[in-house]
Structure 1
Amino acid sequence: MPAVTEPKLIAGNANLSLAKAIARRMSMHRGMSVSLVEARVERFNDQEIFVEVFENVRGEDMYIIQSTSNPANDNLMELLIMTDALRRSSASRITAVIPYFGYARQDRRAKARTPITAKLVANMIAEAGVDRVLTLDLHAAQIQGFFDIPVDNLYASPVFALDIEHQFRGQMNDLMVVSPDVGGVARARELAKRINAPLAIVDKRREKAGEIAGMTVIGDVRGHKCIIVDDICDTAGTLCKAAETLMEAGATEVHSYITHGVLSGPAVERVQNSVMKSLVITDSIEATEKVKAAGNIRIVPTAPMFAQAILNIWGGMSVSSLFETDTLVPIYEGLYQRS
């Protein structure tokens, strides 16, 4: 049955800019004001997190917008404590909207006596009282199976396809999509199919953890504008090295489209000093001032997609419809016009 109450949004401190943008987009779609539920999420002197919700949420359909990005532990605890506050306040349903799902890279036991932390985090979220999770480009699709509650995993590739068609209008035949490693081939192939471009792979060899011994390009990139696609850019070392390798192999330009711009440590300086003409990221993680000031880093919005996904969940409609580029064109009206 269609929902009777309006969806209500509440946000932690991880990415308030995105939360407010989602609320604005939902206001446009609904033709009525949608604002964030008033609450305080703060820390005591010993850094314990305290949450107080100032509005009545009894029987409401609640959506907590909170990326578990750096500081991952603080933001994760905020999410769990906010969930507990809403559950004890008799909210009817709680959906955790997690644009960036932290700990996702720890999704398997790579060696003996190591944890599968992504599964642990999934257990914690479900046990706290979350009924559903909405996220973007999980590092590994099988993480959805770590949850015993429904998980909707959105994809950035349809938005990236729109952006590429807009930015490279008249040059689409020159493009080649590149996966920066063998593990990301499926993600790169998905984007390549959307923009009808060929695919290449950069194969990297490591002699020990954190050190790349060498890179080999699989595919002929000569004369092509290469677009590297991946889900996470952390320190940007591998990304910048891959860009250099592609240029040495004959690429005319290198651009990168990365969903989650973690960009920790020396990442921004590396990107600015690299041969890459541009790095495009989403706003799944709150951009630092350094990222905003970087001349060759650009941010594409995800608020229109998340706002529509929340409305679809609330109204009992399909979320997978947002995987189609044509569905996103009207949602991103004014930003990308297809010829």
Structure 2
Amino acid sequence: MAQYKATPQMKVFSLTSNTDIAEKIAKAANLPLGKVSSRQFSDGEIMINIEESVRGDDIYIIQSTSYPVNDHLWELLIMIDACKRASANSITVVMPYFGYSRQDRVAASREPITAKLVSNMLVKAGVNRVVTLDLHAVQVQGFFNIPVDNLFTIPLFAEHYINKGLTGEDVVVVSPKNSGIKRARSLAEYLDAPIAIIDYAQEDDSQREEGYIIGDVTGKKAILIDDILNTGKTFAEASKIVERGGATEIYAVASHGLFAGGAADILEAAPIQEILLTDSVSNKERVPNNASYITASELLGNAICRIQERRPLSPLFTYHHDED
């Protein structure tokens, strides 16, 4: 009798944090979303039920660990366990936004490194690979003992601004804090534009002194860039500093828009024409009127297909996603 060798099938599942991008990712990967239900008991316990067989399959779970962070993280861990116990061949977590990634070091005495704790939990639960967008710090990849693909959204943002004609010496890319210099330089290279940095003599938010600009923004169109937009205070303050510095137009761009704590009101009062974001987070809070979105779903869908087909992901890190 001839022996039958099973070939792993690819299945994509969405949990509840961001079903909109999950549907787009599945469409980009030319696959239907798998059937799964998630519900909470009256005491808050989460129950997952996978409503189709995953035995021997390569599973891709789409979940951003955004607000409510802990509910979405636990939902993800429980789904991983369910797939593991149902004999999945492999489990890849596609995490457009990785919550807790900002807690990546001990900045003061007796602080935890929660990003490392979360990575340990995911690996221990049974994840074989993680795909994410714009980690707060790229070294978080080293917290995992499994492959981590940290995809960059700057090529997507660059395409948007190039199409708007925001390129060249008339444009300046501004980092609103020292830690974002590398990010600003990367976008500036695409736009063939100079960079500027906003620095503060005192970085404590509660006692922050007026910032000053390192670089020239006079008569230029300024693009503020950050990875996470949370309360909106960083962009709002930076936009006022840049406006006083003589910028003619002010734009802002961030990979992940959380909009916590009344951020919409703060940003609508700021002199920012457009705030550009990806759809990595499904917002529960009000979004400002000057916000606009580009989708990262094709980037993530392409990554899923390349992983499954054992093709390199390196073409996804450049402006033109040429096939290899």
Q: TM-score, normalised by structure 1?
A: 0.91
**Aligned partner (choices 40, 43, 52) of residue 46 of structure 1:** 43
Gapped runs of 5+ residues in structure 2? 1-5
1:281 aligns with 2:277: yes
**Aligned partner (choices 273, 280, 294) of residue 300 of structure 1:** 294
Alpha-carbon offset, residue 271 of structure 1: 1.1
Alpha-carbon offset, residue 168 of structure 1: 2.4
The aligned runs of 1:97-116 (5 Å cut-off) are 97-116=94-113
Instruction: Tell me how far apart the structure 2 counterparts of residues 248 and 21 of structure 1 sit (CA, whole Å).
Output: 41
Seq. identity, %? 42
Show the counterpart of 1:182. 178
1:17 aligns with 2:20: yes
Alpha-carbon offset, residue 289 of structure 1: 6.8
The letter for the 2-side match of 1:16 is T
Instruction: Tell me how far apart the structure 1 counterparts of residues 27 and 135 of structure 2 sit (CA, whole Å).
Output: 25
Show the counterpart of 1:80. 77
The letter for the 2-side match of 1:42 is R
Show the counterpart of 2:316. 322
Instruction: Tell me how far apart the structure 2 counterparts of residues 205 and 309 of structure 1 sit (CA, whole Å).
Output: 42
Q: Secondary structure at the match of 1:322?
A: helix
Q: Is the 8 A contact 1:53 1:85 kept in 2?
A: yes
Residue by residue over 1:7-55, the C-alpha shift from the partner in whole angstroms, topping out at 9 and shown as x without a partner, is 211111100001011111222xxxxxx1111011110110100001010
Alpha-carbon offset, residue 295 of structure 1: 2.5
Show the counterpart of 2:235. 239
Alpha-carbon offset, residue 5 of structure 1: 3.7
The letter for the 1-side match of 2:157 is F
1:56 aligns with 2:50: no
Alpha-carbon offset, residue 198 of structure 1: 0.4
Q: CA RMSD in A?
A: 1.5
The aligned runs of 1:1-339 (5 Å cut-off) are 4-27=7-30, 34-168=31-165, 172-206=168-202, 208-288=204-284, 290-291=286-287, 294-327=288-321
Q: Secondary structure at the match of 2:254?
A: strand
The letter for the 1-side match of 2:82 is A
The letter for the 2-side match of 1:183 is S
Q: Secondary structure at the match of 2:149?
A: strand
Q: Is the 8 A contact 1:7 1:311 kept in 2?
A: no
Query: Would you say how many aligned residue pairs link Structure 1 and Structure 2?
Result: 318
Alpha-carbon offset, residue 209 of structure 1: 4.5
Q: Is the 8 A contact 2:94 2:131 kept in 1?
A: yes
Gapped runs of 5+ residues in structure 1? 28-33, 331-339
Q: Is the 8 A contact 1:68 1:75 kept in 2?
A: yes
Instruction: Tell me how far apart the structure 1 counterparts of residues 250 and 179 of structure 2 sit (CA, whole Å).
Output: 20
Q: TM-score, normalised by structure 2?
A: 0.95
The letter for the 1-side match of 2:51 is F
Q: Is the 8 A contact 2:16 2:63 kept in 1?
A: yes
Residue by residue over 1:136-193, the C-alpha shift from the partner in whole angstroms, topping out at 9 and shown as x without a partner, is 0000011000001110000010000101111226x64411111111111011111111
